[in-house]
């Protein structure tokens, strides 16, 4: 009778739902054909476990029984926090459990772009003998600028140090004393971009970070500079990014995140050779998916227990 009903807007690893099977039944979003049908039934749910699917005000207002929105992951920019707060709905996330996965992915993108891996792969597949044209720089001499030094950014710094790269950090909420000894603090985005060979983005999407990386910053990167974004697309001004590639004012880009879901075939970034794109898979390792599922389910149990 006092069992909870938990909405899953997207499938998650079964370990989490199984761990709360004694107190909760999960319902897949797929059981509803339309958004209207889901909204009409919204007052059935005590909890939601969401990945990146939007949980907006309209749903929260309709969901009169809702007690918790558990984010499976870290960045909760897909959740209307104001609406949740006004309705007394808790919002939780699963900090730290995906930081190794995402940090490794950021480094993978950086190395692939620096050594032009995909261009070389395409040459082999096309049977072209132009391997000699793929002359790159070594990443071991790079200084990597980290925009954001939380769980993921600090993990990237430690991986960089293992690969011989130096790190600079721009994070207004972290002071120099909190940095590991292989990272150096800078005070402005301008300094970060001016002094780095590659910049990797690891901040949340907030009013402050939205389009904070603009034409001005990108122009300060050197022509051999690289931008890696595994955080949120909206932090970087996309038009500015495309025009930096067009004018050759940066050398390459690696992206795991896109503003409106997967990019369409006419996405302007597809025109450039040294761009590596992945479909938001930074946290998609078996370990991270299992842990995010279990942790978000544990958050639901805590809310259930009060």
Rule CB under 6 A: which residues touch ligand NAD?
73-75, 95, 98-99, 102, 147-153, 170-174, 202-206, 208-209, 212, 230-232, 256-257, 280, 282-283
Give the count of beta carbons closer than 10 Å to the beta carbon of residue 79. 22
Provide the minimum distance between the beta carbon of 54 and ligand NAD in the complex, in angstroms, as a whole number. 14
| N- to C-terminal Cα separation, the chain | 17
Would you say 114 or 232 has its CB closer to ligand NAD? 232
Residue 235, both tokens: 């932090």
Integer Cα distance of 62 and 41 in angstroms = 8
Q: Tell me how far, at minimum, the Cβ of 173 lies from ligand NAD, in Å.
A: 3
Q: How far is the CB of 114 from ligand NAD (least distance, A)?
A: 19
Written in H, E and C, the secondary structure of the chain is: CCCEEEEECCCCCCHHHHHCCCCEEEEEHHHCCCHHHHHHCHHHCCEEEECCCCECHHHHHHCCCCCEEEECCCCCCCECHHHHHHCCCEEECCCCCCHHHHHHHHHHHHHHHHCCHHHHHHHHHCCCCHHHHCCCCCHHHCEEEEECCCHHHHHHHHHHHHCCCEEEEECCCCCHHHCCCCEEECCCHHHHHHHCCEEEECCCCCCCCCCCECHHHHHHCCCCCEEEECCCHHHECHHHHHHHHHHCCCCEEEECCCCCCCCCCCCHHHHCCCEEECCCCCCCCHHHHHHHHHHHHHHHHHHHHC
CA 274, CA 269: separation in Å to the nearest integer?
10
Closer to ligand NAD at the Cβ: 46 or 234? 234
Question: Smaller CB distance to ligand NAD: residue 257 or 275?
Answer: 257
| Shortest spacing between CB 24 and ligand NAD, in angstroms | 25
Closer residue to ligand NAD (CB): 6 or 109 = 109
Closer residue to ligand NAD in complex, CB, 231/250:
231
When CB distances to ligand NAD are compared, the closest residue is: 150
Smallest gap from residue 4 Cβ to ligand NAD (A): 26
Q: What gap in Å lies between CA 157 and CA 144, rounded to an integer?
A: 8
Of 45 and 200, which has the nearer Cβ to ligand NAD?
Answer: 200
If the CB atoms of residues 153 and 225 are measured against ligand NAD, the closer one turns out to be 153
CB of 201 to ligand NAD, least distance (A): 8
State the nearest-atom distance from the C-beta of 302 to ligand NAD, in Å. 20
Q: Which is nearer to ligand NAD, 116 or 217 (by Cβ)?
A: 217
C-beta of 228: minimal distance to ligand NAD in Å?
11
């Amino acid at each position: 009778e006092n069992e909870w009903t938990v909405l899953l807007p997207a499938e998650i690893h079964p370990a989490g739902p199984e761990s709360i099977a004694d107190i909760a039944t999960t319902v897949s979003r797929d059981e509803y054909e339309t958004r209207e049908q889901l909204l009409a039934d919204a007052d059935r749910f005590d909890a939601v476990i969401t990945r990146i699917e939007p949980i907006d005000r309209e749903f929260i207002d309709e969901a009169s029984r809702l007690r918790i929105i558990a984010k499976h992951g870290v960045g909760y920019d897909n959740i209307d926090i104001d609406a949740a707060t006004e309705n007394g709905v808790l919002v939780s996330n699963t900090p730290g459990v995906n930081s190794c996965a995402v940090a490794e992915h950021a480094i993978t993108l950086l190395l692939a772009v620096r050594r032009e891996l995909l261009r070389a792969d395409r040459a082999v597949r096309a049977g072209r003998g132009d391997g000699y044209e793929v002359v790159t720089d070594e990443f071991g001499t790079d200084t990597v600028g980290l925009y954001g030094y939380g769980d993921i950014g600090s993990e990237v710094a430690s991986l960089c140090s293992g690969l011989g790269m130096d790190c600079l950090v721009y994070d207004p909420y972290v002071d120099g004393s909190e940095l590991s000894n292989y990272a150096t603090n800078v005070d402005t985005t301008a300094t970060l971009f001016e002094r780095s060979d590659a910049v990797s983005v690891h901040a949340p999407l907030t009013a402050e970070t939205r389009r904070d990386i603009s034409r001005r910053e990108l122009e300060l990167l050197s022509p051999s500079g690289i931008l890696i974004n595994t955080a949120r697309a909206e932090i970087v001004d996309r038009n500015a990014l495309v025009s930096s590639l067009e004018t050759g004012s940066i050398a390459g880009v690696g992206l795991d995140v896109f503003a409106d879901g997967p990019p369409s075939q006419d996405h302007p970034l597809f025109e450039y050779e040294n761009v590596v794109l992945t479909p938001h898979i930074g946290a998609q390792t078996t370990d991270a998916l299992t842990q995010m599922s279990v942790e978000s389910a544990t958050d639901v149990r805590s809310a259930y227990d009060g």
